[in-house]
Amino acid sequence: MKFVPLPNIADTMILARPVYTDDGRVLLNRGVKLKANYVRRLEAMGLPGVYVQRDGIDVPELPEPISAATRQAAIETIRSVFQEVRLGQTFSMEPIHKSVKAILDEVAADPNVLVGLNDVRSYDGYTFAHCVNTCVLSVMIGTKSGMHELDLRHLAIGAILHDLGKIAVPEHILKKPSRLDEAEMIEMQNHSNYGWQVLRQHPELSLASAHVAYQHHERPNGKGYPRGLKQDEIMLNARICGIADAYDAMTSARPYKAALHPKQALAEIRRLQGVQFDPFLTDVFARCVAPFPVGCIVQLNQGESGMVVATNHQFPERPVVRLLFNKIGEPLKNPYEMDLAEANGCFVERIVEDS
């Protein structure tokens, strides 16, 4: 499976991962041949590219921490909250509670699912899907760090609303494909404060949740914003959301940047561990991510290569690989699966680069 920008799509290519509409419905399913009229539709939606099959190899369905129905409902909930706040109305907490409950229940039901590759999203779809993903990942980190149910709920509500303040940022700044200048950066950074102002006044929302919006860009080294808080001055919920937010942004393809692979994003967060990200929570977070997600083509140290077909939450670096090619890159007559958790001396040497 490889990511291909839309201008480079050929009509012989086959979609390896579903493409969703902005409101979370499946637009094109995996296995579909990418005809020119489909590509035009994807371009009109503002998608940067799609994942296609590599060498005609079918990709298994990717395990997700929450169901497609829960994701779609949560995206719709967030979209309407943004809309109501934009219109100056008070939003109802009921749909948020419902979505958050479904996310909490589903993550708790299978705590062993790891986070893999992100969906490809259009600009408009990005903001809402980003809120939902940040919430799911925050809940996974919170759960693995031993948080109690009530605290998890406050965390989840704060995380799903963490970027609500972006409604106060002018669209040309949000969509700017290049680096922001100083004045634009100030306007962008204002979203933390604005989100806090809206959420703290909501009669049914806890301050523990509102503070997530306020503090999710604070960093342990004191170089975050808006207040330059340090270390434990930043609430636990916001430190968790800060990691989830950064990871989701890094692994998302945008019109102006390619998505980082989960392993690269994890390495970047590790690099900033203790500086921009809480050291303990970074370790917990690393146990939530599949460095070699399902669908990814890897080469083993002994030279063969194949596709990851299952991840291992206890040993994320040791997935199950379906071996497809021999040491000199020829297709194997009889592909077979190897569980690297049980294969002594055998490990992933590298991710086979897209070419």
Give the 3-state secondary structure of residue 114: coil
Q: How far apart are CA 91 and CA 235, in angstroms?
A: 25
The distance of closest approach from Cβ of residue 127 to Fe ion in the complex, given in angstroms and rounded to an integer, is 10
Q: Of 28-36, 157-165, 236-244, 260-268, which segment contacts Fe ion by CB under 5 A?
A: 157-165
DSSP assignments along 43-101, one per residue: HHHT--EEEE-BTTB--PPPP-SS-HHHHHHHHHHHHHHHHHHHTTPPPPSHHHHHHHH
Which helix (H) or strand (E) is 138 found in, with range? Answer: helix 123-144
- The residues, ordered by sequence, that sit 6+ positions from 94 with a Cβ below 8 Å of its Cβ are none
> How many amino acids of this chain bind Fe ion (CB under 5 A)?
1
| Binding segment (CB under 5 A) for Fe ion, from list 156-164, 180-188, 247-255, 258-266 | 156-164
Verify binding: residue 163, Fe ion, rule CB under 5 A: yes
Neighbours of 203 (CB within 10 A): 6
Min CB(267)–Fe ion separation in Å: 22
Give the closest residue to 81 by CA, choosing from 17, 167, 15: 167
Residue 336's beta-bridge partner residues? 323
Q: Which residue, 246 or 321, has its beta carbon nearer to Fe ion? A: 246
Closest to Fe ion by CB, 30 or 162: 162
Instruction: Mark the segment that binds Fe ion (CB under 5 A) among 31-39, 57-65, 107-115, 160-168.
Output: 160-168
Q: Which is nearer to Fe ion, 20 or 225 (CB)?
A: 225
Tell whether residue 218 is a contact of Fe ion (CB under 5 A): no
**Beta carbon nearer to Fe ion, 163 or 278:** 163
106 binds Fe ion (CB under 5 A): no
Q: Considering only the stretches 158-166, 248-256, 313-321, 323-331, report the one whose residues sit in contact with Fe ion under the rule CB under 5 A.
A: 158-166
Q: How far is CA 1 from CA 14, 212, 296, 309, in A?
A: 10, 36, 6, 12
**Closest to Fe ion by CB, 65 or 158:** 158
Please report, as ranges, the residues that interact with Fe ion according to CB under 5 A: 163
